[in-house]
Homo-oligomer: A and B are copies of this chain.
Amino acid sequence: MNNTRMTDIAKTAGVSLATVGRALHGGYISDEKKKRIDEAIAELGYIPNMAASGLKSSHSRLIGNLMRFNPNQLYAKIALGIERNLMNSGYSMLALTMYNKDEERAMIDELISRRVDGIILTSMTIVSRAEIEKIRDMGISVVMVERAMDIPYTDSILIDDFGGAYKAVKSLYETGRKRIGFIGEQVKFGNVENDRYRGYEKAVAEDLGCTPSSLVSFTKGYDIEDGYMAAEKLFKISPVPDALFCTSDILAAGAMQYLYKRKIRIPEDVSIIGYDDTISSFLSPKISSVSIDIDRIGSEAAQMIISRLSDSKIPSRKIYTDTILRNRFS
């Protein structure tokens, strides 16, 4: 290994270890010694050892980011923003992806063993409130993304999925569509799909006074085939829908594969709106999509955790991020 250490540069500069420390982190130091130290650093090529400084200071300048796997790489995209923002503040991100809820505990332990200063938890998990409080009480700041849990001294970022779905469906009515179908995963209590369905339901109810169940097609999963089959089902009824609201771009893409086969044209015959804005601009034609504000979520998560690092007694904060309807007129 043979890396340059602070003592090495102290020796070449002819000063003490403590003085090198002051040159590095600020403190009383004469211009002359500062210059000699800078020269020695340039000559020997010193790169600090964070393992040592972390051990001594009990600050690793490492933030853990524990995400649930998402087939659209949605959380990976948020992670990119988090990484960027953390880096600008001198922190690094250690990202861990769970494929399975059972992995969560071991991964949290892994992060603790790295002595991360904070943990960002993205999307639903099994870890209980008590466990999160234990982590927090170890001095590790916790920020949760897309996961509602009221825990003192712990922040969360939520996404306004209800409003996103509502806005999307409303916009379809405004452009003259009348029979708007819904394609989305089966609604369970507390999941994201639930909010998206309720947004759809409210918009439809405002226009029609009720939700015609013939226009709603719940899917078993969120694969492309689920979207295809859901569209197939909706286009067997009569009259057929003149618009589709899908709770993910993947489901929308599946629906579009069905429409392509049937030579039903978009947007002439049917309008489509997707969700998450992952692949919507790559489809033929580009479709509108409800976009979660990835950049904002990333930067808020990073900022929240950094601010909590310097003051762990800030009361819990909860941010709702608006969704954006990316209108592509189809």
| Chain A residues within 8 Å of B, Cβ to Cβ | 1-3, 47-52, 54-55, 58, 60, 62, 69, 73, 76-77, 80, 83, 87, 92-97, 109-110, 112-115, 138-139, 224, 249-250, 253, 256-257, 259-261, 279, 281-286
Contacts and interface: CB of A to CB of B under 8 A. Distances in A.
30 contacts: A1-B58, A47-B109, A47-B112, A47-B113, A48-B113, A49-B55, A50-B113, A51-B54, A51-B114, A52-B55, A69-B80, A73-B76, A73-B77, A76-B76, A76-B80, A80-B97, A83-B95, A83-B97, A92-B110, A92-B114, A93-B95, A95-B95, A224-B282, A250-B282, A253-B282, A257-B284, A259-B284, A260-B285, A261-B285, A284-B284
Contacts of A109: 47
Contacts of A257: 284-286
A223 to B, nearest CB: 10
B1 A224 contact: no
A113 B73 contact: no
A65 to B, nearest CB: 10
User: Interface centre among A3, A50, A69, A249, by most B CB within 10 Å?
Assistant: A50
A78 B73 CA distance: 12
Nearest to A108: B47
A43 to B, nearest CB: 15
A51 B60 contact: yes
A51 to B, nearest CB: 4
Contacts of A83: 95-97
A83 to B, nearest CB: 6
Most chain B beta-carbon contacts within 10 A, residue among A73, A109, A284: A284
A153 to B, nearest CB: 15
Nearest to A258: B284
A67 to B, nearest CB: 11
Contacts of A93: 95
Contacts of A60: 51
B279 A256 contact: no
Contacts of A139: 1-2
A49 B260 contact: no
A110 B261 CA distance: 52
A2 B138 contact: yes
Which of A112, A282, A285 has the largest count of B CB atoms less than 10 A from its CB? A282
Contacts of A92: 94, 96, 110, 114
Given A49-B115, A279-B279, A283-B283, 9 more contacts: A1-B58, A2-B139, A48-B113, A49-B55, A49-B113, A95-B95, A250-B282, A257-B285, A260-B284
Contact of A51 (B96, B115, B259): B115
B73 A224 contact: no
Contacts of A94: 92, 94
A187 B86 CA distance: 36
Q: What are the 3 A-B residue pairs with the smallest beta carbon separation, nearest first?
A: A260-B284, A253-B282, A1-B139
A92 B60 CA distance: 15
A134 B58 CA distance: 30
Nearest to A48: B113
A138 B3 contact: yes
